[in-house]
Amino acid sequence: MSRRLPLRRPAFDWPRRLTRKLSLRARVTLWATVAVVIAMVAAGLGLLVGLQHSMWRDRDSTGRQRLSDVTSLVRQDRLGSLIPSTGGDADVVEVLDAHGKVRASSDYDTRPGSPSGFPNPLPSRVLEGHPTTLRGLGIADGGDFRVLARPIRIDGRPATIVVGVSLTQAEHTLSSLTTGLATGVPALTALVAWTIWLTAGRTLRPVETLRRQAADITATDLHRRLDLPACQDEIHALGITLNDMLARLDDASAAQRRFVADAAHELRSPLAALRAQLEVMSRYPDPGRDPHMAAALLEDTVRLHDLVEGLLTLARSEDPARSRSPVTHVIDLDEVVLAEVRAQRSLTQVEIDARRVSGGRVRGDAEALRSVVRNLLDNARRHAHQRIRVTLGERGGTVELTVSDDGSGIPAADRPRVFERFTRLDEARSREAGGSGLGLAIVSKVVTAHGGTVHADQDPAPDEGGLGGARLVVRLPAASPPG
């Protein structure tokens, strides 16, 4: 069986890997700047090369003209030892004999018969009539020259006319231009990068606005929509698509809530009837029926009834219509707490200490807040061994409600999860305790809807004044005093 070799990434993939962690704005700025820099460098090189070729052609034209002038002097037999200078001061013209000695020169300091300042022998390319750049010649002021030559006969003897056109001024011009480009390109690159950065930021600003708005939308406010930018561009189309997606999510969430609420509502009546019948059976037992069966069925029915009530409460708490127009009565939370404590005391032998409940006024839905207290106490009652402690007080504009028990507590790693639906942890907090797994989820939803927070903690040990079990803390904004 042949083995398949793993696919190798192409070598040209390195730019994408290199810029993967950059933001879109940074990538746009980087690649646009790189493209502009490449264009500027190419243009600068093209300018330098083109200017050099132009100046070289100009000097070649000057050299050819000097060759023609000297050739005319020879043919007119007017050539002396000093050739008249008609070019630049740095240009040199010499007429050499067959041995490379000077017969005539445009340089006053060069005497006939002296060695030539040009190479001897001349390069074959020069002798073939091609203009050639020779560097570091010892003629005139020295430097680089474009050298041209033309064979000729003087008095029947072979000779060569050599013209050297100085490149000093041209090279100085090229050097100045190169320095200017070397200084200007980085400065222009920085300006271009800054301009592209600002332009990209302004262009992508609507995307960032859409992102922030989308990040603020939670599962409880899917009715919200994103503000669309004024420009009818791709970002506007993206906003429309996101709004359409939010609308579909809102419809799906509403359908789910309606299903849960309708199912819970439809189950309430038959469960209530079943519960009533089981209570009658428990109160008036039939001698021919197992006396424990009715009690067990009644317990399961009560648990199922609580589950249905919890689902209905959750569905109502997640209704966006209720979130947009909540009931905001001022409520004495201490009265709600004490009433629920009295109700719980009738259901358990566990001691419930409410001596630290003091005044606390909040603004919200009384029935919803009552369900918060009821579920907190119900959770503590199921897991406490002997004692529950309830405290309530107002501190710095916040009303704090604490419910502690002396049970096994909640592991630190599991505390955030206890507020999720149908969450059960270890055997100490299992289904056998009678919970539906919705109580603390309801607490979290209602408290959040009222602008508060809830968290689970560990109560201090008994020798430190606590109970040593779980401690659930609810904080709600205090109601503003009247007037």
pLDDT, tens only, 261-286: 666 666 666 667 777 776 777 776 66
Cα separation, 256 vs 262, whole angstroms? 10
Give pLDDT, residue 119.
Answer: 85
Mean pLDDT, range 243-254, rounded to an integer: 85
pLDDT for residue 432: 46
pLDDT for residue 15 is more than 70: no
Contact 148, 60 (CB under 8 A): yes
What is the model's pLDDT at position 228?
Answer: 86
Q: Name the band, by pLDDT with cuts 50, 70 and 90, for residue 365.
A: confident
Say what the pLDDT of residue 362 is.
Answer: 92
Which residue, 269, 251, 347, 337, is CA-closest to 309?
A: 269
| Burial (Cβ within 10 Å: 0-12, 13-18, ≥19) of residue 84 | exposed
pLDDT tens per residue, range 65-98: 888 888 888 888 777 777 776 655 567 888 888 8
Residue 147, classified by CB atoms within 10 Å of its CB into exposed (0-12), middle (13-18) or buried (19+), is buried
**Please, what's the b/e burial string for 35-61 (b: 16 or more CB within 10 A of its CB; e: otherwise)?**
ebbeebeeebeeeeeeebeebbeebbe
Neighbours of 283 (CB within 10 A): 8
pLDDT over 60 at 426, yes or no: no
Tell me the backbone φ, ψ of residue 409, rounded to 5 degrees: 80, 180
Least confident window among 174-183, 184-193, 220-229: 220-229
Residue type, 397: G
Phi, psi of 229 (to 5 degrees): -65, 155
Q: Cβ distance 435 to 382 under 8 Å?
A: yes
Q: Say yes or no to pLDDT of 299 above 80.
A: no
Model confidence band, residue 402 (pLDDT cutoffs 50, 70, 90): very high
Give the single-character DSSP code of 123.
Answer: P
Residue 190 banded pLDDT, cuts 50, 70, 90: very high
For residues 331-342, average pLDDT: 92
The answer to whether the Cα torsion of 9, 15, 17, 20 is positive or negative is negative
Q: Give residues with Cβ within 8 angstroms of 299, minimum separation 6.
A: 434
96 Rama sector, left if φ>0, alpha if ψ -120 to 50, beta otherwise: beta
Name the token pair of 458: 């560990």
pLDDT tens, residue by residue, 105-140: 887 667 777 888 788 888 888 888 889 888 877 676
pLDDT of residue 124: 87
| Residue ranges of domains in the chain, CATH in brackets | 78-170 (3.30.450.20), 234-317 (1.10.287.130), 326-477 (3.30.565.10)
pLDDT at 327 over 60: no
Tell me what the mean pLDDT of segment 166-179 comes to: 88
pLDDT above 90 for 401: yes
pLDDT at site 272: 74
Among residues 380, 383, 360, 367, the alpha carbon closest in space to that of 446 is found at 367
Residue 473 has pLDDT above 90, yes or no: yes
Phi-psi region of 373 (alpha: psi -120 to 50; beta: other; left: phi over 0): alpha
Report how far residue 438's alpha carbon sits from residue 420's, in angstroms, rounded to the nearest whole number: 8
Average confidence score pLDDT of the chain: 81
Half-sphere exposure of 306 (CA within 13 A, CB side): 19
For 12, the enclosing helix (H) or strand (E) is none
Q: What percent of the chain has pLDDT over 90?
A: 20
pLDDT of residue 108: 65
Q: Which of 138, 129, 87 has its CA nearest to residue 110?
A: 138
Find the DSSP H helices in 128-167: none
